[in-house]
Amino acid sequence: MDVSIIIINYRTSQLIINCLKSIHQFTSGVTFEVIIVDNDPENGGGDLIRASYPEVRWIDLPSNPGFGIANNEGMAIAKGKYFLLLNADTLLTDNVIGRCFARMEAKQDMIACGALQYYADGTPMPFYQSFNEFRKTFFILPPGRLTENILNRFYPEPDYKDPDQYDWLVGAFIFLRREGFKKTGGFSPDFFMYGEDVEWSGRLGKLGKLCYFKDCTFIHLENNNPFRRTNISWINRFSTQMQVSNFLWIRKQYGIFQYLLLIAHYICMVPVIFGWKIALNIKSGRNPFAELRTQRIYVRKTKVILKYFWQTLLLKNGSYKIKPQENIDLLTASA
């Protein structure tokens, strides 16, 4: 078996049927199996998928443990020489699986590769190309050349001799050697959603190169989920669940100091963002305390981050899934 394709189902039966159709339509030159891990068997619509593709291997999980754990379950039973972790809300447009297989066979110093994401309209989807590029977005600082120079000094971009090499691969499409899973144990079980691909890439990168190839692409439809960010602004760039996961990644990969630095930054920014907005209101002749909704959302999100402070600081094992009453994005989506 050349490739084991692992897809997580969480109430996305029609998306998976469309995805499988594209896989069978465009994939050639490799033997493959499909493993579907269902995080909600009662409501997942698995019968529809099995009726259309009875050959798929199926795993029903008793609860929804999150993206990483479900993929680990799939990889644990996979028979392929290579694994492809593929999101349910994706479509292939050519033989990208065969192409990735050939690249991995040719470049033995590569542990895993990814494909570039495209929107449904055919435009490329932006992505963070290094750990430090991603880390710099965590700091809520005034935009400008001075801020940019300071962040670039402390978080410089990597310099790889291989133009195809990157720091991390997006979890929607990860093509890796079997050894990558065996030697790392897969995704960290602490992550429920978001950040797990970044953290795992850090460990995979110690085993070999992580690469993207410009001629390897796929369509990512970005299916909605209840943890997606809302009320996006300069100070509210990430969803609450995403930020809890991001801070966990920083603690795991970069240690206590970098984690505490971010915590201190977010706390110190509370009076700054309120003071800035109040001063702007006064300058404009408005009520000093008008239009502070964005600032209040920021405070509510920061409070949630602080609820996970000791758990993150001490790296306690267990799911870092936020509770329904902590999902500020969903709670304020229509407010």
What are the pLDDT digits (tens) for 291-317? 999 999 999 999 999 999 999 999 999
CA distance 201 to 131: 10
For residue 269, what pLDDT is reported? 95
Task: Please indicate whether residue 156 or residue 233 has the higher confidence score (pLDDT).
Answer: 156
How many C-beta atoms lie closer than 10 Å to residue 182's C-beta? 11
Q: What pLDDT is recorded for position 320?
A: 96
Partners of 9 in the β-ladder: 38
| Average pLDDT value for residue range 12-36 | 97
pLDDT-based confidence at 223, cuts 50/70/90?
low
Averaged over 30-51, what is the pLDDT?
93
Task: Give me the count of residues in the chain.
Answer: 335
Instruction: Label residue 142 by pLDDT band (50, 70, 90).
Output: confident
Residues 6+ away with beta carbon under 8 Å from 44:
9, 10, 11, 12, 13, 38
- Please report the pLDDT score of residue 43 as a whole number: 84
List Cα–Cα distances, 308 to 75, 108, 230, 274, in angstroms. 29, 40, 21, 24
> For 252-278, what is each residue's pLDDT tens digit?
999 999 999 999 999 999 999 999 999
Q: What are phi and psi of 116, to 5 degrees?
A: -75, 135
Share of the chain above pLDDT 90, in %: 87
pLDDT of residue 243: 96
Model pLDDT, residue 334? 67
- For 3-128+168-220, which CATH superfamily applies? Spore Coat Polysaccharide Biosynthesis Protein SpsA; Chain A (3.90.550.10)
Average pLDDT of span 213-217: 95
**Whole-angstrom distance, CA of residue 152 vs CA of residue 256:** 21
Split at pLDDT 50, 70, 90, the class of 333 is confident
Angle at which helices 240-254 and 293-307 cross, to 10°? 50
- pLDDT per residue as tens digits for the range 55-97: 999 999 999 999 999 999 999 999 999 999 999 999 999 999 9
Phi and psi angles of residue 169, each rounded to the nearest 5 degrees, phi first: -115, 140
pLDDT of residue 276: 92
pLDDT at 226: 66
Weakest mean pLDDT among 60-74, 195-209, 212-226, 295-309 = 212-226
pLDDT at 69: 96
Helix/strand/coil for 296: helix
Q: Is the pLDDT of residue 136 over 60?
A: yes
- Over residues 319-330, the mean pLDDT reads 94
What pLDDT sits at residue 158? 94
The average pLDDT across 105-127 equals 95
Write down the domain spans for the chain. 3-128+168-220, 240-331
pLDDT band at residue 335 under the 50/70/90 scheme: low
pLDDT score for 225: 67
Over its C-alpha atoms, the chain yields an Rg (Å, rounded) of 21
